[in-house]
Chains A and B, each alone.
Chain A
């Protein structure tokens, strides 16, 4: 317990302390700790009426995006994990494939699909004889649409394990009582999943508030400002001044307060963990719901949703990667296709070093994050931890409220001040990523842990097994799908995360994300899209491996119900 607390203090409390220090002592002309403390940054950030207007827009953006993304993710999770819908394995790969696309490329792809002058969909509709449509992205609705679609894959991975772990006997009893599949879903399945869905909702709400990709790519053109763009401009001043880390930190602390408020909701659910137990000692037989004649209509619906979530953005990514410059798809355009982007990416000197760095950073961040999150989940849900449990849980969830650019800065300042020799190495990036993704990992594993009945521990203890043996032989196998999902999720995000890597990398510690940024900054869109396609292909190959699928999706020990 103390070790866990110390680790959390190191990974979470220390960067937050640095934020407080920056908010008190930094401004556009001073770095943190270079002047006497004051409340000027808080006044500039919190007392500016514009901040609260922007906050309102941010809340709308986050709520809308989160609702859309989670609705799609929940539908896919239910269909893939709980029903006998055809083509589940392909659906599983298809919903996860867009995760490998960097956020800014996903947003750019949608801009190219729907911009009002030559957006692919707008032009296509016009070419087949319809009048010029007025489909446009430059609105809050457009931002919510793109962010929500982008979120769906990520949300799926974090909630799928919870869907898979539901004991079907609850649904069977509901059927016996006369409810149909939809009624059972509404009255039984979803209420049982409330902790997992609530944890995911809180987490992704915070993600949407701090994300910059869609607000930066679409919101800027639409003249819609949100909190993340406000923080971005505080840290990237347009007029050559120093970044105002005082204001950025004060705004980040405001986000932390919002996060703490949201966590009160989750605390209530965690306190009633017993209500959400679905894996008991009485026999756990995960089985599927038979859809009957609704199998194919459901498949049609899922495929229709996959078109905007995955097919269109991926098509745009592939198409753009094969062209030096975008042209509308046509037979004439096929003559312009080139492998230039792929040759450039694969022939880049130093690629192997960069890939090795990336594997080390992402792998170590994934292992550390899952290990720490699993320990926090166990302590806060099952162990007799007294008041420490809720504090650990809250502490673990806090980093998500800190925008990456601010977290990267806080970590940089921290390890410049602490002479432990990791500044400028890949390990500082791995540490920052562990802090960043601890929240999502802990939220998911806490929800999974809440589904396991305490009787399993008690029965094992009565049989003479110690805690470690019980965990290793009983609990860990039951939680394996959740562990695997979270590890995969952290791995992919650690590879994609731009802001932290850019803030902390050095010539010796370049990673794929810094290469993505270099290509973006250099306007090398063909190479960038080729890199995105290769990353997506790699993810699809990994997901196609039967061994990984068995791990990421839970083993089926029973036949269809």
Chain B
């Protein structure tokens, strides 16, 4: 599966261009055909900087595992994770950039929140392929982001209340037998992803809106947030949940929770990317981190931790299992404007958020 590389938003301004050139000065001097030599030089420059501030929404244990592996591979850099939700991160970065107090070096962000980041020129373009040998298909938005991982959002069930066999298609949940037993997360993220055109694996907007209308007629429980949704599912309040992650369900299941995820397709999947902040204090450490997360070193950490996080086109371990079971995975669109329109449509159709 190819990650589109289109760049939405305005063209680069003179100010941003100058900022980008300043930030890329060191790698440009170092650039030659050998990515390994470039990365070694980048490591030395990052060691001179000594620190790295990483903003991301993933849970602290995942970030700790990443940091431990990174510092084992690239010693001499003190990495601090600041756990922050994407929406908060986006507007906080904007506010800090406007005030000239940039506190983030590198950040991890779902595509969903990339529009203001790109529009406001908060990230530096990097030649990930030429300098560091990154897979070209992982590079997005003209080098302003490098693809991180995807998270699948399948239909999830409480195994005490229903069986895997009871649901073979999304349409099954429209039957009267499921009245009041289905949870729908209020923001409707997976349904928005399913609005992608059929040629991209989705259902298209009209079919999804019709599905939401019929599902609402079946009196679903509407809750806000993927975690409360998973909790409600595990506690037996509902039998099926739409809007939580397979990785979260895995965590619950490993802890003995009566939950599971289904391989009923199509399965929506959101995509996270890594970006280097413009004007950051530690640009070389930021690049070193970002290129590392796009390489085999970080992939190994995610798969070992089994958090379902892995690099873009290969799909997460869960995504690979789903695909092996015959389910079609629908990745979030990299056209951020289209994403936003679909999310607004889905949330409005669900109607919990006014």
Contacts and interface: CB of A to CB of B under 8 A. Distances in A.
B53 interface: yes
Size range of the interface on B?
35 or more
Contact of A240 (B103, B224, B340): B340
B256 A238 contact: no
10 contacts: A112-B237, A229-B354, A238-B343, A238-B353, A240-B115, A240-B339, A326-B234, A507-B53, A521-B227, A523-B251
A396 to B, nearest CB: 28
A111 B222 CA distance: 13
A241 to B, nearest CB: 6
Contacts, number: 137
B99 A221 contact: no
Given A221-B221, A325-B234, A502-B88, A518 B83 contact: yes
B98 A233 contact: no
A31 interface: yes
Nearest to B245: A523
B16 to A, nearest CB: 15
A423 B101 CA distance: 9
Interface string B99-120: 1010100000010111110010
A295 interface: no
Interface stretch (A72-80, A409-417, A539-547): A409-417
Contacts of B258: 325
Contacts of B98: 31, 34, 416
Nearest to A405: B88
A168 to B, nearest CB: 50
Interface in A471-530: 502-503, 506-507, 518, 520-523, 525
A525 B226 CA distance: 13
B237 A118 contact: yes
Interface stretch (B25-33, B89-97, B134-142, B314-322): B89-97
Contacts of B339: 239-240
B87 A237 contact: yes
B81 A325 contact: no
B109 to A, nearest CB: 10
Nearest to B94: A31
Contacts of A237: 87
A221 B227 contact: no
Interface stretch (B42-50, B125-133, B170-178, B179-187): B179-187
A267 interface: no
Which one of B226, B236, B336 has the highest number of Cβ atoms from chain A below 10 Å of its Cβ?
Answer: B236
A239 B82 contact: no
B222 A118 contact: no
Interface in B274-319: none
A239 B343 contact: yes
Interface stretch (B65-73, B193-201, B207-215, B344-352): B344-352
A506 B89 CA distance: 11
A330 interface: no
B151 interface: no
Contact of B231 (A50, A230, A242, A523): A523
A236 B94 CA distance: 15
B264 interface: no
6 cross-chain pairs, A with B, having the tightest CB-CB distances, nearest first = A523-B227, A326-B235, A416-B99, A239-B343, A240-B112, A238-B347
Interface of B: 53, 57, 59-60, 80-83, 85-88, 90-92, 94-96, 98-99, 101, 103, 110, 112-116, 119, 180-181, 186-188, 221-228, 230-231, 234-238, 248, 251-252, 255-258, 336, 339-341, 343-344, 347, 351-354
Given A416-B95, A523-B230, 8 more contacts: A112-B237, A116-B180, A240-B339, A242-B94, A243-B91, A326-B234, A412-B92, A520-B227
Contacts of B256: 324-325, 336
A241 B118 CA distance: 12
Contacts of B230: 523
B336 A240 contact: yes
Contacts of B257: 324-325
A225 interface: yes
B238 to A, nearest CB: 7
A230 B354 CA distance: 7
A28 B224 CA distance: 22
A117 B220 CA distance: 12
A220 B343 contact: no
A233 B352 CA distance: 11
A241 B340 CA distance: 7
Given A220-B352, A243-B87, A412-B92, A117 B236 contact: yes
Contacts of A108: 228
B227 A522 contact: yes
A309 B40 CA distance: 62
B222 A523 contact: no
Contacts of A412: 92, 95
B261 to A, nearest CB: 14
A243 B91 CA distance: 7
Given A233-B354, A240-B115, A502-B88, A507 B347 contact: no
B222 A220 contact: yes
Contacts of B53: 507
Nearest to A424: B103
Given A31-B91, A522-B59, A115 B237 contact: yes
B296 to A, nearest CB: 27
Nearest to B54: A507
Given A324-B256, A506-B103, A522-B59, A239 B95 contact: no
A37 B339 CA distance: 30
Given A220-B224, A412-B95, A241 B115 contact: yes
A223 B234 contact: no
A186 B181 CA distance: 50
Interface in A104-130: 108, 111-112, 115-118
Interface in A317-346: 324-327, 336
